[in-house]
């Protein structure tokens, strides 16, 4: 397995503890995504080989669960809350502004690889509506002016 598995040594060691059967697909996919940031075709093939499953079956699991990404994410992930409080207080305008400023749709990454735009059902901070989360940092009461400042700050950090 060592020769055909280019993943990090820590992942190879962790995989030694995971049974080689189809029931192991989810933890295997989680470990690949944790290491790579997404599930590459190669990663899916490695999971299939380890779990003694067809690559199509592994792909089916990966596309069924929203926790898995099939595209490389940007350096920063922008999550716009679409929950009730945020929706009522303007999250739709926030999302449209982000799409316009970034030039991407939900689920896409900017051409420079800095931002990935996502929509989430709830961030759990209704008192801050409308809310946007950048990586693990929550920004509340976000409007057009705040969006521009947030993007500028994270673009600057990306340099």
Kindly give the confidence (pLDDT) of every residue in the chain, 159 residues in length, as a single tens digit, with 9 standing for 90 and above: 343 454 555 566 778 888 999 999 999 999 999 888 899 999 999 999 999 999 999 999 999 998 999 989 999 999 999 999 999 999 999 999 999 999 999 999 999 999 999 999 999 999 999 999 999 999 999 998 999 999 999 998 777
pTM of the predicted model as reported, rounded to 2 decimal places: 0.74
pLDDT at 16: 85
Long-range contacts of 54-63 (CB under 8 A, 24+ apart): 57/22, 57/25, 58/25, 58/29, 61/25, 61/26, 61/29, 62/29
Query: What's the angle, vertex CA 132, arms to CA 105 and CA 109, rounded to 5?
Result: 30
Tell me whether the omega of the peptide bond preceding residue 130 falls within 30 degrees of 0, making it cis: yes
């Amino acid at each position: 397995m060592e020769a055909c598995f280019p993943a990090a040594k820590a992942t190879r060691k962790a995989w030694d503890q995971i049974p080689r059967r189809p029931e192991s697909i989810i933890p295997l996919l989680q470990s690949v995504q944790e290491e790579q940031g997404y599930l590459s075709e190669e990663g899916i093939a490695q999971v299939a080989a380890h779990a003694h499953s067809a690559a199509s079956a592994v792909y089916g699991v990966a596309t069924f669960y929203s926790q898995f990404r099939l595209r490389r994410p940007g350096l920063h992930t922008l999550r716009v809350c679409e929950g009730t409080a945020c929706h009522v207080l303007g999250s739709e305008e926030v999302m449209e502004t982000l799409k316009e400023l970034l030039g991407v749709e939900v689920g896409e990454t900017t051409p420079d690889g800095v931002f990935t735009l996502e929509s989430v059902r709830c961030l759990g901070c209704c008192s801050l509506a409308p809310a946007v989360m950048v990586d693990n940092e929550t920004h509340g009461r976000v409007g057009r002016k705040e969006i521009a400042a947030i993007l500028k700050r994270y673009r600057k950090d990306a340099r």
